[in-house]
Chains A and B, each alone.
Chain A
Amino acid sequence: MAMLTEWYGIAGFLVGMVIAFMLLGIPVAFAFLTANVVGAMIFMGGVHAMPQITVNAVESVTIFALIPVPLFIIMGELFFHTGLAVRVFDALDLCFGRLPGRLSYITVVGGTIFATLSGSTMANTAMMGAMMVPEMTGRGYKKHMSMGPILGTGGLAMIIPPSALAVLLASLAEIDIGGLLVAGVLPGLVLAVLYSMLIYAQVKLDKDAAPAYSVDHSGFWTVLRALALNVLPMGFVVFCVIGLIILGIATPTEAAGFGALGVLVLAVIYRVLTWDVLVKSVSGSLRVTAMVLLIILASSTFSQLLAFTGASAGLIEWATQVELAPVVMLLIMFGVLLILGMFMDQVSMMLITVPIFFPLAETLQFDLIWFGLVMLLALEISLTTPPFGLLLFVMIGVAPRGTTLWQVALAAAPYIGCALIVLVLLILFPGLALYLPGLMVR
């Protein structure tokens, strides 16, 4: 127990306990609850801490800053269940002509548009996988050309607003939610451009990777009409979310409400809104919202434990004493996130690391919005790292039978490379993330 008097012993014990409980198969929310109860028994005066844990728990989710989370989820669910998502792809399909690798490009462009309309990485990947992989396999695309772009662009939803995860991160770290949402726009777009360049290079290097096939030529007006009908209106919804925040007309909560309303209005106009769609969308939103918020509620005492025991303060004191360059510290934090991401979900990763990393980032004088974005990037990458990156398994679920984890991970690898390039760009040019938040009218 002597170890439990030093900050590193306490921090290791608390974090280790949560991870160990998760690995034993305790549902994540209950793993956090168990760790809190055990931690409180040891460090916060035994059973006397229980009322405090209870109060912390109920107060942790009754905060206004979390309202955009269900709203962004509702928006994405409506977008999928109404079939509006498929229309985007159909319209894009007309635009790409007989380009080698066209379906890979369509995935990147369509996936980026998806990301601006939906806040859920998992749903995006599952949807694109189910829709595009069979088509690409049928056209003779090699596995890395079909699965790679989907895995890459699936993760974009986490960075490009509306991102429910960004709202959670900003609210936990107590930074400007609108700022973090908007900060993701440019890096997300750069990432999409890098993905397209990657596809171009892959097709150039190996002509058989994505064989060209003949497509019916669509006239200019047909293409324009399809875009105007099926892509442009979505642009209006995107403006509702991103534009209104930048212009300072709406708070993130209001923007989220209007984003969801926008999709609903489009669904009415396209006559695809049915009772069944509404029920499916609300029930899907409830599943994700309640699951995530229960984890937030369950982990509410965790950050207090880290602070109360001196673990956070000890870490920060250590970090200021060791003479490591801030960028090295950044890379260490980035690495820790990647390792955690190999076996746990994004929300848990955030809850474990935010109370430690954000005070540290503040001490290192990082801009916290910029740092939040770097964290989101790490969370995105860790979705596709083996052995347990969640998107890899979503992909195996929709890929042709016999596809191995190894093949999926290999397909994702070059896309992780692109994300790492964006990390370097963010370090060299912080303005990439901070330019748009700087324009925000507050």
Chain B
Amino acid sequence: MSMKLVSKLYDGLIVGLAIVAGLMLVLIFVGIVLDVAIRSAGYNALQWYSAIAEYCLLFSTMLAAPWLVRLKGHVVVESLTMAMPPKLRAAMAKAVYLLCILLSLLFVYYGFIEMAASLEIGDLDLRSIDMPKWILFLPFPVGFGLVAVEFGRYLFGYGSYYSGKVGSSESL
């Protein structure tokens, strides 16, 4: 496979996971409306809704995390780094990318360990419906793994994570 194809497939993966994450938000929204509608019609509440919605919060966060790294969407404070001389600022940025990669890999590892442990003993997560607990840890190896790759792109020179503007970040 050519590098171009690999990179295209990889980009598709990042965007694809973000689309799945977005659909999970839609599911949370549609689910609550359905749940209330069904209950008001006198039927039993959707038992699965709260457990699935809770899992969707985690999954959408982790699946969108690599996409957000690419969009520079994770909030960052740039007030001090902007005051640094350009060379120091560039070095600092590289150090930050490296730290984010190492941290992400750490959580890939521990997410995986926890997932394997839950799988082995068949642990259940007791919510409105019982969920196999390993699913709870699945987004960590996937999400943090790709976050590490995305920071790797910055580390190896694919642009900069920093906008060079104070207060450019989003918040609530």
Q: Do A and B bind each other?
A: yes
Contacts of A261 in B (CB 8 A): 29, 33
Q: Of A195-203, A229-237, A249-257, A416-424, which stretch is located at the interface?
A: A249-257
Tell me what chain A mostly uses at the interface: helix, strand, loop, or mixed: helix
Q: Are A55 and B114 in contact (CB under 8 A)?
A: yes
Check A27–B172 contact: CB distance below 8 A.
Answer: no
Contacts of B167 in A (CB 8 A): 388-390, 392-394, 396
Do A121 and B171 form a contact, CB below 8 Å, given A23-B80, A294-B61? yes
B28 pairs with A27, CB closer than 8 A: no
Q: Are B107 and A290 in contact (CB under 8 A)?
A: no
B110 lies within 8 A of A58 (CB): no
Chain B CB within 8 A of A339 CB: no
Q: How many angstroms from the CA of A324 to the CA of B139 in the assembled complex?
A: 48
Known: A64-B53, A122-B170, A253-B32. Contact between A28 and B74, CB under 8 A?
yes
Pick from A103-111, A308-316, A343-351 the stretch touching chain B: A343-351
How long is the Cα–Cα vector from A297 to B143 in the complex, in angstroms? 13
Contact status of A290 and B68, CB under 8 A, knowing A74-B25, A250-B36, A260-B29: yes
Dominant SS at the B interface? helix
A20 nearest in chain B by CB position:
B80
How many Cβ-Cβ contacts under 8 Å join chain A to chain B?
Answer: 200
Residue interface mask B138-172, A partner, CB < 8 A = 1 = 01100000000000000000000110011111111
Give residues of chain A (271-291) contacting chain B, Cβ–Cβ below 8 Å.
282-283, 285-291
> Quick one: CB contact mask for B57-79 with A, threshold 8 Å, 1 for yes?
11011101100100101111111
Give the number of residues in B that approach A within 8 Å (Cβ atoms). Answer: 59
Chain A residues packing against B (C-beta within 8 Å): 22-30, 33-34, 37, 50-51, 53-55, 57-59, 61-64, 66-67, 70-71, 73-74, 119-122, 158, 164-165, 168, 250, 253-254, 256-258, 260-261, 282-283, 285-295, 297, 343-348, 387-390, 392-394, 396
The answer to whether B57 touches A393 (Cβ under 8 A) is no
User: Is residue B106 contacting chain A, with contact meaning CB distance below 8 A?
Assistant: yes
A333 to B: closest C-beta gap in Å: 21
> Nearest Cβ in chain B — how far from A391, in angstroms?
8
Q: A24-B81, A37-B106, A51-B114 are in contact. Are A345 and B169 (CB under 8 A)?
A: yes
Known: A257-B33, A261-B33. A54 touches B166 (CB 8 A): no
